[in-house]
Amino acid sequence: MARLSTVIWGALSLLGSAFGYANPGACSGTCTNTHDPSIIRRSSDGTYFRFSTGGKIAVHTAPALTGPWTYKGAALPSGSSIDLDGNQDLWAPDVALVGSTYYLYYSVSTFGSQDSAIGVATSSSLDVGTWTDLGSTGIRSSSGKPYNAIDPNLVQDGSTYLLTFGSFWRDIYQVPMASPPKAVASGSSGAYNVAYDSVKTDEEGAFVYKNGAYYYLFYSKGQCCGYDASKPAAGGEYKIMVCRSSSATGGYVDAAGKACTSSGGTVVLESHGNVYGPGGQGVYNDPTHGPVLYYHYVDTTIGYADGQKRFGWNTINFSSGWPVV
H or E segment to which residue 12 belongs? helix 2-19
Q: Is 36 a catalytic residue?
A: yes
- b/e code 154-191 from CB counts within 10 Å (16+ = b): bbbeeeebbbbbbbbbbbbbbbbbeeebbbbbeeeeeb
Mean pLDDT of 131-144: 97
Which one, of 313, 230, 210, 321, lies nearest residue 269 by Cα? 313
Catalytic residue among 89, 133, 171, 204: 204
- State how far the Cα of 96 lies from the Cα of 212, in Å rounded to an integer: 20
Task: Give me the CATH number covering residue 264.
Answer: 2.115.10.20
Peptide bond into 68 cis (omega under 30): yes
- Cα 295 to the chain's mean position, in Å? 8
Q: Within a domain: residue 293? A: yes
**pLDDT per position as a tens digit, 155-188:** 999 999 999 999 999 999 999 999 999 999 998 8
Give me the chain's average pLDDT, please. Answer: 94
Q: What pLDDT does 250 receive?
A: 96
Mean pLDDT of 67-76: 98
Q: Does residue 321 form part of some domain?
A: no
Per-residue pLDDT averaged across 99-122, rounded? 97
Is residue 3 predicted with pLDDT exceeding 90?
A: no
State the pLDDT at residue 187: 86
**What pLDDT score was predicted for residue 289?**
97
- The structure's pTM equals 0.94
**Domain of 43, in residue numbers:** 2-315
**pLDDT for 189:** 86
Mean pLDDT of 134-144: 97
Taking alpha carbons only, the member of 107, 96, 241, 221 closest to residue 162 is 96
Q: Which amino acid is at 148?
A: N
Q: Report the pLDDT value the prediction gives residue 34, as an integer from 0 to 100.
A: 97
Q: Cα separation of 200 and 134, whole Å?
A: 35
- How big is the chain by its Cα radius of gyration, in Å? 18
The number of folded domains in the chain is 1
Distance CA 323, CA 325 (A): 7
Sequence letter at residue 21: Y
Contact present, 90 and 70 (Cβ < 8 Å)? no
**pLDDT tens-digit map of 263-300:** 999 999 999 999 999 999 999 999 999 999 999 999 99
Would you say residue 136 lies in a domain?
Answer: yes
Does residue 162 sit within a domain? yes
